[in-house]
Amino acid sequence: MKFIVSSGTLLKELNNINGVVTTNPVVPILENFLFEIKDGTLTVTASDLQTSMIIEMEVEAKENGNIAVPAKILMDTLKNLPEQPVTFSIDEDTYSIEISSDNGRYKLAGENATDFPKIPEVSDGFSVNISTDALASAINNTIFSTSNDELRPAMTGVYVNLSDTNTTFVATDGHRLVRYRRVDVASEDSHAIIIPRKALNLLKITLPAENTNVSIDFNMANAFFRFNNIKMICRLIDERFPDYENVIPANNDNMMFINRDELLSSLRRISIYANKTTNQVRVKITGSELQISAEDLDFSNEANERLSCEHDGEDIEIGFNAKFLIEVLNNLDSEEIQVKLSEPNRAGLFLPKEKSDHEDILMLVMPVMLSNYTT
């Protein structure tokens, strides 16, 4: 089997799926790309058993065939080759691969393509279409809030709830929660799935800059994403997602409007002086003044700042983990934000002041118990 392809084009396409390949996989053959040629089309598959990505591209080939190609050595070779046509010559009896370029020839050992795991297909499933802009926004606004705790697998992914009027994306790690809702994405039937973080991270870096359509097919076991010449299939998390609506406080009598950048800058400065274990900052709202303070008793460090704000409600004092507050504010794309508070022991809600016609975003941070120092 022989085919000719542009080194630069092949490298660009393989970069889209190389993130799936892991070192020391469960099955050694998964360190390879699966190359399949049929009627002049090269299909390349990368998989880690949980997530698989597939790209298709046109090549110059006269015959059909397949081979498993070592991913790392191929990527390293292509990265160091100047743009030029390269010829792949494959001996299907010995699985040896020879790459010929203007610079020279490179031989590497491939593997039998039949040993590569079969990629699952979505049958008897459901479908929904979403724009790359909407999907990228949903991923960017939720993925930072997923959990790394493998003992709570449901929280290591993003919960997606489709209804006939909107689609809601939710992520939480128990300390913070994001609920992101799109009214421009809907399904005639209601369905709920949990998509793993790794699959969403791969989508995030692969989605094209130009706005195009993403077709999603899913059943109870897998989700299948299709856009441009790329396909991705991932195993869904088969767990029950926490009842997140119960965590969101309903009656929030304290409301504050404040400039996001000013609050974010202040928190970054104050957090330097916080205890490195708790990252605790104290937030005190009195009238139209917000006071942020932190103290590390072990090192006699302390800091406090005052900011002006619009405030409607009683004076309140509440503690937060500065790291979580900073991450939430980093991911709120709004000049002014709205903060809703109820009690010092209940979660704080953070929302953009400017409402969008097609999206609704709410971010929540759980409070921390304040230590008994006064400023």
Largest pairwise CA distance in the chain = 80
CB atoms within 10 A of CB 72: 12
CA distance 169 to 171: 7
2-115: CATH number: 3.10.150.10
Model confidence at 373: pLDDT above 70: no
The pLDDT value recorded for residue 372 is: 60
What is the rounded distance in angstroms from the CA atom of residue 206 to the CA atom of residue 227? 10
CATH 3.10.150.10 domain position(s) in the chain: 2-115, 126-168+189-243, 248-365
Q: Is the pTM of this model over 0.75?
A: yes
Answer yes or no: is pLDDT of 124 > 80: no
Q: What is the CATH number of domain 248-365?
A: 3.10.150.10
Mean pLDDT of the chain: 94
Question: Could you give the CA distance from residue 133 to residue 140 in angstroms, rounded to a whole number?
Answer: 11
Token match 């392809």: residue? 5
Query: Which of the four pLDDT bands, split at 50, 70 and 90, describes residue 121?
Result: confident
Gap between the Cα atoms of 186 and 173, Å rounded: 26
Host H or E run for residue 97: strand 96-100
What average pLDDT does the segment 341-366 reach?
A: 93
- CATH architecture classification, 126-168+189-243: Roll (3.10)
Q: Which of 67-71, 251-255, 294-298 has the highest mean pLDDT?
A: 67-71
Residues in the chain: 375
pLDDT tens by residue, 176-233: 999 999 999 988 889 999 999 999 999 999 999 999 999 999 998 999 999 999 999 9
| pLDDT confidence tier of residue 374, bands split at 50, 70 and 90 | very low
